[in-house]
Structure 1
């Protein structure tokens, strides 16, 4: 993970500093309790079991129980705090992503299909959610377990521990190599899943067309093909993770076998006690389990980094059309196009409008009539600045639209689209959508003007019908 990605995640996580700080405190306590267990076992073997001190057995068992109790309680608190902080971080991230998507110019949606954007909101954020919540908690726990375990291993027998360090460079090298591969595969698999979402979105949005031409089978084949491509990339990622986990586990078990041979020899020669040997083995098991878990988490973490890069690409993108500009005190509605030329950004080689000049006076009614593809819809899209002309200028009441505040300009324009879209709310809220502060009388007047008020009133809930 590069520095910029880490800085981004830290910035998003900064509001959760209190919860994460307490989580780290509980992490330290639970890790210390786990690391105390081998020490207590060593003391019990050397001072209770071997000397056969029955009077010390119950206190020894009580100490072990207390260590387990502390570990269980504080591990639960650590898990809760990290998880709830992670959930809030991802909710905040989803809000920022959705806000940024809505703030983009229409041109952005020509280059980024709806299904792909939905994939970033859904699957990418879900992948990132696991990374910044449960996986971070488990990763820190296992890292603390590994570091603490290594420290106590050196305290118990520096010779055995020094020999064990020979195993670390190969594992670290493997983590670096496989981590890079896993990160790339994770990003590619998320992109492939996005393609599958695009196919599904297109099909469901145009379901009437699909059914009219009896293309359900063809669309199912398209969707299945996209899923199979995503599955292939997921398999490659899982294979890479499995190979790394196998490599790390083999190295760990090799180390255990070596310790049993060398440590057993030290016990036989009276250079170590049985308690010391048991303590070393327990710490070694803690380290081995921690390293193995970190290996599994490494793959998930790299998948989260790949997802975060796709999410932050949008969050940090500045819209090409600025909302800055002046707000007029009133609007008469005079419109003028002066030598307007335009080509769609996706097809710059084809000029849709060539030197358009016309003027619409206040109160004048004008209809644009022409063949399909003649530019009627394009003219309607240029007025509210969905796109910018490649040449020429558009004026409203004598002021170039580029000088007007974008939101104010669009609030002065009423639109009835060719394909009306209803939001998931009441009839009243749908009518009020263009003017949220409209009174009930204004809503009813609008419904009456559209010849819809009578049949709306026939519904049991009237305007409140969903």
Structure 2
């Protein structure tokens, strides 16, 4: 059963009016459930393959692979310098403990790696400078590379968002999309630049440290490695947990951004109705959601790093106990134990670094899943597929047996078997009660949505056969609530106008005159160069309408 409403299309043709009464179906239709695919982006609890997203992260960074490779080479240099320090300190301690011999023997023992002390410390200073330059260069390269990656990722994501159909925009919150463009993109870029750098450094230091520990004392090395499996298990559990929390956090931040954007855009309305307290409470609720997820992440991180710190300290104590007994037995010198302990610290810190690397990589995977989900989504209406309509002039518009329901309200039928023919030169006014489908006619004509059945034709050609972007360029459209972009009045009048037309001043003047903008523009000191403000806030509603008409 349908409740029927009526729209009158008043069509002035030449010097007389043609009045056509077209019966449109509105309100609730009882029928089958919608078979449309899921339109909403996945929520914070969506399960996805972290390692699949990680693989895509590295594919994404392929254009920057040369710079990342150079940064990794510089990390190798700086890490080699750092890992030479424990060995040097051990040699110096052994040299000091053996300095009670004869003068001649002392002069021989005072040589380090075949060099005198002066030569040795000069060379050591030069090596440290090389390490510092390599480290500084690595940071600069990765910072620049990260910014390039963020810029490319944000551009791709914005392009994907602008290519989406109206159904997608009806279903998904703008704040969530902004979050994916901003914070998620930054996290992804950090994961494949700075985080990979830190992980590589940890791997190099851990490998070299383990090798030097094994060279100095395999017995102490075995004591150290007993604690590696529990650390690895804790890191794996923590990484999975932190990935899910990161995704939840980014989703909550998106909701917070959406509320903030809505409230700031409607500040005057809120103030007019005295709704400040209600809106503050609403915003505070979203803030608490973000806080609670951040608290979970903080507790999880605290437990993990506290536990791993305890394991590390236990390992150091065990090494000292075994090492001192080996010194007493004469199987190890003080310098060797000192070097071993320093290598153990480097190796332990590298294990912590690897666990942090894994957790940050999982954060990146969570953010990447949200970004890639938007990038991968194919719009229901493809904007660049179809033929060029070339021209729509002198072609009738025909709505033929059109039935339509909005995808977000599949049980609420707007049109059923709607038929309209608008001939060239006719002017049509749709008249009817609110919600009867007047605005929907324009939305369907611009193909924001596809009809459920029937067709909309220009001439004898279904508009679904046209390249959507080229088709829309041939249509002039002014919304009920015109939105102006932050810029000058002239910028808004010439929005998306081809350069060859924009350069014709006489055509601009004619458009301004026909839209009746001349009078109020004369009152502005800057004329066409007057800034309209965000969303045209500096102009009245009527002025915005006339600029949109021009």
TM-score (ref. length: structure 1):
0.96
The farther-off stretch of 368-377 and 130-139 is 130-139
Q: 1:245–1:295: 8 Å Cα contact kept in structure 2?
A: no
Mapping 1:444-463, distance limit 5 Å: 444-463=509-528
Distance 1:225 1:301 in 2: 30
Alignment partner of 2:494 out of 398, 409, 432? 432
Distance 1:217 1:299 in 2: 40
Q: 1:40–1:64: 8 Å Cα contact kept in structure 2?
A: no
Alignment partner of 1:174 out of 234, 243, 257? 234
The farther-off stretch of 422-431 and 124-133 is 124-133
Query: Are residue 269 (structure 1) and residue 329 (structure 2) matched?
Result: yes
Q: What is residue 355 of structure 1 aligned with on the other side?
A: 417
The farther-off stretch of 320-329 and 217-226 is 320-329
Q: Relative to 1, partners in 2 of residues 1:222 and 1:259: Cα closer, same or farther, differing over 3 Å?
A: same
Residues 395-444 of structure 1 show CA distances to partners (whole Å, capped at 9, x for unaligned) of 01220001111012111111111111111121111001142422333222
Q: What is residue 93 of structure 1 aligned with on the other side?
A: 153
Q: Structure 1 residue 294: deviation in Å?
A: 3.7
Distance 2:522 2:349 in 1: 68
Alignment partner of 1:162 out of 203, 211, 222? 222
Distance 1:182 1:330 in 2: 55
Q: 1:340–1:355: 8 Å Cα contact kept in structure 2?
A: yes
Residues 69-119 of structure 1 show CA distances to partners (whole Å, capped at 9, x for unaligned) of 222111111111122111111110000000100011111101111111111
Q: 2:391–2:474: 8 Å Cα contact kept in structure 1?
A: no
Distance 1:253 1:70 in 2: 33
Q: What is residue 7 of structure 1 aligned with on the other side?
A: 55
Q: 2:405–2:415: 8 Å Cα contact kept in structure 1?
A: yes
Q: What is residue 35 of structure 1 aligned with on the other side?
A: 83
Q: What is residue 464 of structure 1 aligned with on the other side?
A: 529
Distance 1:62 1:250 in 2: 40
SS in 2 for 1:62: helix
Q: 1:381–1:387: 8 Å Cα contact kept in structure 2?
A: yes
Distance 1:273 1:66 in 2: 29
Distance 1:270 1:62 in 2: 33
Q: Which has the larger radius of gyration?
A: 2
Distance 2:54 2:237 in 1: 20
Q: What is residue 443 of structure 1 aligned with on the other side?
A: 508
Mapping 1:27-106, distance limit 5 Å: 27-47=75-95, 50-51=98-99, 53=106, 56=111, 57-106=117-166
CA root-mean-square deviation: 1.8
Q: What is residue 201 of structure 2 aligned with on the other side?
A: 141
SS in 2 for 1:368: strand
SS in 2 for 1:352: strand
Q: 1:116–1:197: 8 Å Cα contact kept in structure 2?
A: yes
Distance 2:481 2:234 in 1: 55
Alignment partner of 2:388 out of 306, 324, 327? 327
Aligned length: 466
Q: What is residue 542 of structure 2 aligned with on the other side?
A: none
Q: What is residue 365 of structure 1 aligned with on the other side?
A: 427
Mapping 1:183-262, distance limit 5 Å: 183-262=243-322
Residues 302-323 of structure 1 show CA distances to partners (whole Å, capped at 9, x for unaligned) of 2222111101100111111122
Q: What are the ranges of 5 or more consecutive residues in structure 2 without an aligned counterpart?
A: 1-48, 101-105, 112-116, 532-550
Q: Structure 1 residue 279: deviation in Å?
A: 1.0
Q: 1:156–1:280: 8 Å Cα contact kept in structure 2?
A: yes
Q: Structure 1 residue 204: deviation in Å?
A: 2.1
Distance 1:286 1:443 in 2: 70
Distance 2:444 2:285 in 1: 38
**Structure with higher helix content:** 1
Q: 1:248–1:291: 8 Å Cα contact kept in structure 2?
A: no
The farther-off stretch of 218-227 and 438-447 is 438-447
Which one has more relative contact order, counting CA pairs under 8 Å at least 6 apart? Answer: 2
Distance 1:39 1:63 in 2: 15
